[in-house]
Chain A
């Protein structure tokens, strides 16, 4: 079995994680009498995981460069407040309420401020040489405090009508047709990348994996995409909401057309986009290569002419940008921005990243691992909530799982099994 996997060049850690996730899902499904693995719960999981998943993608890069960011939850809080005020108080001075440009401008401003906040922390870490743990611990207090100051503690609501689509919800999905189109594009991309990679290796006479392994890989990936999309499309809107949508369109309600699918939620789409972009950055750009080089041996990176200080600033700034995206998702989901939004998110994010196989020693980590890590964390939390487990007990379980995850990783995997995948 293990020889089979190595021939297929599959990351064994990924298989382990997927297996853990499967056990959690099946376990909760049995314990809850079949209420866990349902289209509805899977859809909700995808929406609930999104905010942490987006930040986890950035945290991978931070931890790979041997740093840590404890301030992401607080940054999310202050950015949500700023974006809340921008869309409800600032932009309406120039644009109409619910103007189609409002959400985009708001998000852009949030991203710019996020990059600035992250950049400042990166400057302190890279150029002033203050350990990231301290800078971001300070940042946690500073930005959480700043979140209160934005409105003196007042919760900002209601948010812009287009902005709240970023949080999922009944309208914030792309529906069945578009979901199928996304699935088709994704599968086409999977096949295209597999063919191009193989061609390129053959062109240089490099060893390639056996053709059956290529087929298996591609079929598994495409099958996963189909399974996810089919599940999400199988979750229909509540009858009342479906009726309202049909009425707005002036279509008479019939028993057939009342079954409107949710499809992919906008937050899940955002996660996918962020993950794909960052995976390309990590695997195919100098920036990504240097992040891993710095994590592997900062001295070697410096000697190779890499500007480690500037890279540090860039990585923290990128983290700030992702916090802005997460802030948009979280506040849009609640349709309001409160100054305690994102509290303790730093711990969820770091836990997701670590469960996903990123080494705190630096140099090793994957984006897809962090995504599955985030999903594992959220599955545990949602599953326990479904079973009516006490919140206090939930915390205990999640804390133990985190320690267990790192322990098992340390003992069952070689340290550098797959550094840059």
Chain B
């Protein structure tokens, strides 16, 4: 992406989350975070365990609800109260635990919750398998095990099934929680190729990870969170690994990008917070 700024101003964001707040009991899990995502863009959401990134993303996927804040999809405010609402807004999530039913086969998992039925209301398994073969073949030509339970599949194959599931229902925003966790080297490479393929198809992809290395090369931009607040949003080409590690671990914005600091940055004079800078 040579000219990110231009593409960003040309297009409207696919999704914006504005000033999201969530508390669990007295703990502020997400505290005034705003992020956005454009078509054909891969954005990493980074932070330590407990930084609030998973909570933030679960609000977008409908698993949790924000206490206050706005979600804007295609310029229109969207109400996302459950997984179905998210899906209606073409937002699909691929979870860390892969959210597949281990005892069902690939086809059954692909269509779970949205099965094809015939005119009598009975499942049309053959039609579903046909469609499943088509979609999965596009993603992963080596995929053969359509009728084995997914517990018999490798991690990469399972990830293919999960992604195919999202594509099958015309996802425009794909949220991937730790997409390469528990995958081998070869399979990680396969998933990376998949993500690039989807990006070229114009999807917006949010990658959630606590491991910088998983997402640095894939992402166009990074949102970094710490203690429930946004440290900052940077373009990957403007920063080094060390810069980002500093953001994740210390909450410190790189010196040359101090003007982009968010409320969670510890080294910035931040007009948005009343805290005195250190």
Give the interface of A toward B (CB within 8 A).
Answer: 200-201, 203-204, 206, 280, 283-286, 289, 292-293, 295-297, 299-306, 363-364, 415-416, 419-420
- Contact (Cβ within 8 A) A304 B112: yes
Q: How far is the CA of A295 from the CA of B101 in the complex (A)?
A: 8
Give the interface of B toward A (CB within 8 A).
Answer: 61, 63, 82-84, 87, 93, 95, 97, 99-105, 108-109, 112-115, 117, 121-123, 125-127, 129-130, 149, 151-152
Q: How far is the CA of A300 from the CA of B82 in the complex (A)?
A: 13
Q: A201-B126, A296-B102 are contacts. A303–B63 as well, Cβ < 8 Å?
A: yes
Which residues of the other chain, B, contact A206 by a CB distance below 8 angstroms? 126, 129-130
Q: How far is the CA of A187 from the CA of B182 in the complex (A)?
A: 50
Q: How far is the CA of A204 from the CA of B152 in the complex (A)?
A: 24
Min Cβ gap A227→B in Å is 30
- Contact (Cβ within 8 A) B103 A305: no
Min Cβ gap A152→B in Å is 46
Q: How far is the CA of A416 from the CA of B117 in the complex (A)?
A: 26
Which residues of the other chain, A, contact B104 by a CB distance below 8 angstroms? 289, 292-293, 296, 419-420
Q: How far is the CA of A364 from the CA of B101 in the complex (A)?
A: 11
Q: A200-B126, A206-B126 are contacts. A292–B149 as well, Cβ < 8 Å?
A: no
Which residues of the other chain, B, contact A289 by a CB distance below 8 angstroms? 104, 108, 112, 115, 123
* Contact of A416 (CB < 8 Å), options: B99, B102, B114, B130: B102
Which residues of the other chain, B, contact A285 by a CB distance below 8 angstroms? 121-123
- Contact (Cβ within 8 A) A286 B101: no
- Contact (Cβ within 8 A) B83 A304: yes
Q: How far is the CA of A300 from the CA of B104 in the complex (A)?
A: 11
Most buried by B among A280, A302, A303, A415: A303
* Contact of A204 (CB < 8 Å), options: B103, B114, B129: B129
- Contact (Cβ within 8 A) B99 A303: yes
- Contact (Cβ within 8 A) A305 B151: no
Which residues of the other chain, B, contact A293 by a CB distance below 8 angstroms? 101, 104, 108, 112
Q: A293-B101, A416-B103, A420-B104 are contacts. A300–B112 as well, Cβ < 8 Å?
A: yes
Question: 20 new A-B pairs (CB below 8 Å) besides A200-B126, A284-B123, A304-B114?
Answer: A204-B130, A283-B123, A284-B122, A286-B123, A289-B112, A292-B103, A293-B112, A296-B101, A300-B101, A300-B109, A301-B112, A302-B83, A303-B61, A303-B93, A304-B112, A304-B113, A305-B83, A415-B151, A419-B105, A420-B108
Most buried by A among B95, B103, B109, B115: B103
- Contact (Cβ within 8 A) A296 B103: yes
Q: A284-B122, A289-B123 are contacts. A306–B103 as well, Cβ < 8 Å?
A: no
Q: How far is the CA of A286 from the CA of B251 in the complex (A)?
A: 48
Q: How far is the CA of A74 from the CA of B4 in the complex (A)?
A: 69
Q: A285-B122, A286-B117, A363-B102 are contacts. A299–B97 as well, Cβ < 8 Å?
A: yes
A-B contact pairs, 30 of them (CB 8 A): A284-B122, A284-B125, A285-B122, A286-B117, A289-B104, A292-B101, A293-B101, A293-B104, A293-B108, A295-B101, A296-B101, A297-B99, A297-B100, A300-B109, A300-B112, A301-B112, A302-B83, A303-B93, A303-B95, A304-B112, A305-B83, A305-B84, A305-B113, A305-B114, A363-B101, A363-B103, A419-B104, A419-B105, A420-B104, A420-B108
Closest Cβ neighbor of B126 among chain A residues: A200
Q: How far is the CA of A283 from the CA of B124 in the complex (A)?
A: 10
Q: How far is the CA of A289 from the CA of B108 in the complex (A)?
A: 8
Q: A292-B104, A296-B102 are contacts. A306–B113 as well, Cβ < 8 Å?
A: yes
Which residues of the other chain, A, contact B93 by a CB distance below 8 angstroms? 303
Min Cβ gap A65→B in Å is 12
Q: How far is the CA of A293 from the CA of B152 in the complex (A)?
A: 16
Q: How far is the CA of A364 from the CA of B151 in the complex (A)?
A: 12
Q: How far is the CA of A299 from the CA of B58 in the complex (A)?
A: 13
Closest Cβ neighbor of B82 among chain A residues: A305
